[in-house]
Amino acid sequence: MIANESWSGEDRRASPSVARNREPILDVLRRVLPPRGLVLEIAAGTGEHAVHFAGALPGLDWQPTDPDAMSRRSIAAWRAEAGLPNLREPLPLDVIAADWPVGAADAVVCINMIHISPWAATEGLMAGAAARLSPGAPLFVYGPFRREGVPIAPSNEAFDASLRERNPAWGLRDLEAVQALAAGQGFDLAEVIEMPASNLSLVFCRR
């Protein structure tokens, strides 16, 4: 990212779901994130969440990342407009890669990535977060999941089918499989929080 590069409103992208979910997510983040430190956001997408959360949580330094160049342009444009001192420039980060551009963090946040990526991305998320978080630090994950013994909402069933049609490697993951993967990397699932539109917030804690 070039420090003196300028960004226009045309670079900004918007997701309708952000306007609906940012406040419920923020309510959880206020409670589970540390009061100060560095938050590493994985797959930050448009950048709207990053701007909203950084503005609402001024004690935290917010580091958005995304593997997609157009998404990073959008994040940078939202950041330029907001002018928040605690919102850092977006960095390229592919969770599947062995090397991440951030060596340590006080919390990791990942919103709506697990179902729109291959399973290897979830494996990379857990391994990368485990390598960068100290004991007791949180990993926050948000999105739709399947849960054993809980009927899936018709809207999520249709969403899952559409995802798999677009890419057979995508789709809603079983919460129990994600929990087991996280446990193997040294995370305990501290909370499962019901969210609007049949989504869940998962709060993992580094052992």
Closest by CA position to 143, among listed 182, 105, 117, 181: 117
Q: What integer pLDDT is reported at residue 6 of this predicted model?
A: 45
162 domain residue, yes or no: yes
Residue 4: is its pLDDT beyond 60?
A: no
* Three-class DSSP category at 164: helix
- Residue 155 belongs to a domain: yes
Number of folded domains that form the chain = 1
Q: Is the per-residue pLDDT at 74 higher than 80?
A: yes
What pTM did the predictor assign?
Answer: 0.94
Whether the per-residue pLDDT at 5 is higher than 70: the answer is no
Using the predicted structure, report yes or no on whether residue 17 has a pLDDT greater than 60.
yes
pLDDT band at 9 (very low <50, low <70, confident <90, very high): low
The Cα–Cα gap between 71 and 141 comes to: 19
For the chain, helix (H) and strand (E) counts, in that order, are 6, 8
pLDDT tens-digit map of 179-189: 999 999 999 99
Whether 19 is covered by a domain: the verdict is yes
Domain assignment of residue 4, yes or no? no
Tell me the per-residue pLDDT of 138-163, one tens digit each, with 9 for 90 and over.
999 999 999 999 999 999 999 999 99
Domain for residue 120, yes or no?
yes
Domain assignment present for residue 2? The answer is no
Residue 167 resides in a domain: yes
HEC-encoded secondary structure of 35-65: CCEEEEEECCCCCHHHHHHHHHCCCEEEEEE
* Residue span of the structural domain in which 134 resides: 9-206
CATH number of 79's domain: 3.40.50.150
Q: What letter does residue 6 receive in the DSSP assignment?
A: -
Residue 3 lies in a domain: no
Q: Which residue has the higher pLDDT, 16 or 90?
A: 90
Q: What is the mean pLDDT of the chain?
A: 95
pLDDT in the model for residue 10? 75
